[in-house]
Amino acid sequence: MFQYIKKVLKHLKNKKTNDEDSAPQSSQLSLSLDLNSNLDTLRKIFSISSDIVIREFAFGQKPQIHAALIYVDGLVDKATINQSIIKPLMYDSRTICSEETHKENIDHIKTTLLSVGEVKQITSINKLVDGCMSGDTILLINGFDEALVMSTRAWETRGVQEPQTENVVRGPREGFSETLRINTSLLRRKIKNPDLILETMKIGNRTKTDVCIAYLNSIVNPALIDEIKRRLNRINTDAILESGYIEQFIEDAPYSIFATVANSEKPDVVAAKILEGRAAIFIDGTPFVLTVPMLFVESFQTSEDYYSRTFFSSIIRILRYVSYMITILTPGVYVAVLAYHPELIPTPLMFTLMASEEGLPFPLFLELFVMVLVFDILREAGVRLPRPVGQAVSIVGALVIGEAAVAAGIVSDFTVIVIAITAVSSFVIPAQTDSASMLRYILLILGGVMGGYGIIIGLICALVHLATLRSFGTPYLSPLAPLVRRDLKDTFIRVPIWGMATRPEDIGAQESKRQSSGLKPTPPPEEENQTRS
């Protein structure tokens, strides 16, 4: 017992020592009054990187003041540096010329000489390096232990384009890009309200990736924002390269096949979720924006549902639920019914099915399993290959392989039909593609081993698992479990916009009412019509 306690204490001591050793040393460094000393320190930090530019110059009247600009070539706007920083400093006679190095001097340079929009004063070398790596320009002046960090960020970016994963017939075509500020500006265009808060932090010890939390301060639940910050602040990793990194660090059920963090490429979708009381997480370098909390029913909703008329949107949404059940159940039910419950099939159809399966060399379960596997291989090949080649591979490959397999007597015609229906149905709900693929295999195996009883057991287990999931404290199956009657108006069907006066209850918004009641459009009174006529 004592040896075990000794080992635990030793482990904790070693962990504390390693954490202290791994802390960045540059955070303890401060700028000195000597310009050459500061430049030597920065040259050691930046090593021999060819894109780091250190521009030394002198400005002002006699005696001249020596200074240096540090920036990363390719991340800055050189025109801004030349016109708004170097030119005013070198040619403006209002520069302070005294040998004294008072704080007022650098304030004078900041307020009267530099024509850059954003200028900050820092004393930490660590913050100086972070700003330089982010595209800012650093001004070091001899005799000052402070540096000026000027915003000159400008790099090649992809323009605002239509997102590839969320195509719509009616609605905005613009989508997020890989630049954080472009994405936040697109959100600002949708929500022109000063109550929209954007909080930015850096995550990743090596990449220093900008991560921004967006929410409406008067609507969102403060506990949700505190929880998001807690989960983000505990991330201690080298790199954050895409939103998927953040998602895997903050999700509630990392071993579940169901995602508990939603993502979108469309500004209107993210704005709508924020207006319901959710929070969005923007990550620099990716067009996918995370939103939390997530509900299971969100996967069957699209932005176009709210732009089209009520009846059409409701029918399409019901079709999505039906398609999801088809894609996960069809292979397993086909095997279970044909192998264990043939009495459920009408006699003429049963004779046709048995005739198609007669003479095949493989058991029905193995036949379905291999065909589902081949379908997933073709789909992955179509996604990873270049678009023109990928479409040809997925379409021609499926046709050729399916026809050749039937002609060779390896699979039956009905098996190919089942796989085709399953494949088409899986494309209707892109948000649940991962879970549908896993459930398809699980239910196929259970149906092949236990028949219909296995499929029922699998569905019950999946339903129980869904009922236990939470997304940042919100029940994943809400508003179905627990049942919230007033929120059913936007679940299986979509009632008219004027009928959705309240926000989802389980999201926990501070302000539940989002519009006035009694907004149903009505024709003008009959007396008024007669007056007009």
> What is the CB neighbour count within 10 angstroms for residue 339?
15
Portion of the chain with pLDDT greater than 90, in percent:
37
3-state secondary structure 278-323: CEEEEECCCCCEEEECCCHHHHHCCHHHHCCCHHHHHHHHHHHHHH
> Cα–chain-centroid distance for residue 215?
15
Across 17-35, average pLDDT: 59
What is the pLDDT at residue 237? Answer: 93
Residue in this structure with the two tokens 């991330």, named with its chain if needed: 235
- Distance, in Å, from the CA atom of 328 to the CA atom of 16, rounded to the nearest integer, reads 48
What is the SS3 string spanning 224-244? HHHHHHHHHHCCCCCCCCCHH
Contact 128, 147 (CB under 8 A): yes
pLDDT band with cut points at 50, 70 and 90 for residue 9:
low
pTM, entire model: 0.84
Whether 182 has a pLDDT exceeding 80, the answer reads: yes
The angle at the Cα of 147, spanning 142 to 151, to the nearest 5 degrees, equals: 135
Tokens of 177: 């890009």
Nearest to 261 by CA among 210, 229, 298, 211: 298
379: which residues sit within 8 A by CB, 6+ positions away? Answer: 394, 423
pLDDT (0 to 100) of residue 530: 60
- Per-residue pLDDT at 381 exceeds 70: yes
How many angstroms from the chain centroid is the CA of residue 356?
Answer: 46
Whose CA is closest to 289, among 363, 213, 220? 213
Neighbour count for residue 456 (Cβ, 10 Å): 15
| Four-residue CA torsion sign, 305, 309, 314, 317 | negative
Sign, CA dihedral 492-498-502-507, equals: positive
Q: What is the DSSP string of 312-376?
A: HHHHHHHHHHHHHHHHHHHHHHHHHHHHH-GGGS-HHHHHHHHHHHTT-SS-HHHHHHHHHHHHH
Cα 299 from Cα 305, distance rounded (Å): 12
- The C-alpha atoms of residue 42 and residue 130 are separated, in whole angstroms, by 12
Return the pLDDT at 108: 77
pLDDT in tens, 193-224: 899 999 999 999 998 899 999 999 999 999 99
Cis peptide bond prior to 525, omega within 30° of 0: no
Lowest mean pLDDT among 303-307, 347-351, 431-435: 347-351
Q: Does the pLDDT at position 7 exceed 60?
A: no
Residue 240 in contact with residue 283, Cβ under 8 Å?
yes
What is the overall mean pLDDT for the chain? 84
Q: What angle do CA 391, 389, 168 make, to 5 degrees?
A: 40
Question: How big is the chain by its Cα radius of gyration, in Å?
Answer: 31
Q: Are 215 and 246 in contact (CB under 8 A)?
A: no
**Structure-model confidence comparison of residues 9 and 499, the more confident one:** 499
The neighbour count for residue 506, using CB atoms within 10 Å, is 20
Q: Rounded mean pLDDT of 124-137? A: 87
Lowest mean pLDDT among 144-158, 231-245, 263-277, 327-341: 144-158
Per-residue pLDDT band for 430 (boundaries 50, 70, 90) equals confident
The CA distance from 182 to 16, in Å, is: 40
Q: Which of 300, 314, 315 is nearest to 480 (CA)?
A: 300
Q: How far apart are CA 225 and CA 217, in angstroms?
A: 10
CA distance 394 to 390: 6
* Residue with tokens 């049963």, as numbered in its chain: 350
pLDDT band at 176 (very low <50, low <70, confident <90, very high): very high
Distance CA 263, CA 269 (A): 9
Taking CA 252 as the corner, what is the angle to CA 290 and CA 19, rounded to the nearest 5 degrees? 90
- Over range 115-119, report the average pLDDT: 83
CB atoms < 10 A from the CB of 111, how many?
9
Share of the chain above pLDDT 70, in %: 88
User: Is the confidence at residue 291, as pLDDT, over 50?
Assistant: yes
The answer, yes or no, to whether residue 266 has pLDDT greater than 90, is: yes
Tracing tokens 């017939």 back to the chain, one arrives at 169
Q: Read off the pLDDT of each residue in 366-383 and give the average, rounded to a whole number.
A: 83
Widest pairwise Cα distance in the chain: 106
Q: What is the DSSP string of 466-519?
A: HHH-EETTEETTTTBTTB-GGGGGBTTSB--GGG--B--GGGT-S--B-S-S--
Q: Rounded mean pLDDT of 358-375?
A: 84
For residue 392, the model assigns a pLDDT of: 63
Q: Can you tell me the distance from the alpha carbon of 431 to that of 166, in angstroms, rounded to the nearest whole number?
A: 10
pLDDT at 260: 93
Q: How far is CA 468 from the centre of its chain?
A: 24
* CA 74 and chain centroid, separation: 27
Report the C-alpha gap between 447 and 469 in whole angstroms: 25
